[in-house]
Amino acid sequence: MKNKMFSIIISLMSVILISCGDGGTSSSSADDFNFVRIEDTGKIYTFSDFKSIGYKKGRQAKSDKLLPGMTEAYWGFWKVPQADWSGKDMVDYELRFYESHSDAVSMGEVPADSRSGANDGPSPGKVRSKPPDEAVWKELLKEARECQGEGGHHTGACIVPKYGDFKIFNNVVILAQGTNSKEAQKHIHLIINGLDPAPSTSE
């Protein structure tokens, strides 16, 4: 009788442990977030903050080509902690730095909006990007487009906007790669969480 009771207790404990373990997968935590377009926590960020979490600079905008209010701007990539359905875990980001959060909002929102998602194309379908001569900001433009066909930027048709959405976080405008707004917002959430990890809710 004692052995039978002991077996029942062990079985119940196993079920409880498995249930607890399944409740905190990385997938659910990465997808469970509330996207806010404009956010300010009071901290001023620099490129070094992003570099310290593994952001790799691909190209820096020329200082004489910066838009009003911008202090620096970069195109690069970061390895997200969760790969997508195809196994891709390296994501392109464009980072635009300003002196303050208010500068980023007042001078950075409209240019970022014009380069991201459907606003970079002539129609809500986001079929193709605007011609280069119609772009609000031509610097880092080649890196902001996806290419169709073989040959990449040399022979392919680079007409598809790369950045699905953007966010103004403190003094930085972050544009993220994404096939749609939701995917780009997730990538933005992930890199911000890399800068400022969310506090653990475990006891």
Kindly state whether residue 143 falls inside one of the protein's structural domains: yes
Say what the pTM is.
0.75
- pLDDT for residue 196: 82
Kindly state whether residue 165 falls inside one of the protein's structural domains: yes
DSSP count for the chain of H helices, then E strands: 6, 8
125-128 contacts, C-beta under 8 A, 24 or more apart: 126/160, 126/161, 127/160, 128/159, 128/160
SS3 70: strand
- pLDDT for residue 17: 42
In the chain (203 residues long), the average pLDDT of successive 10-residue segments reads 51 45 44 89 97 97 96 97 80 98 97 78 45 77 76 55 94 95 94 81 43
Indicate the number of domains in the chain.
Answer: 1
Domain, as residue range, for 61:
36-195
Phi then psi for 124, rounded to 5 degrees? -60, -20
- pLDDT for residue 84: 74
Kindly state whether residue 158 falls inside one of the protein's structural domains: yes
- pLDDT for residue 192: 97
Kindly state whether residue 15 falls inside one of the protein's structural domains: no
- pLDDT for residue 189: 96
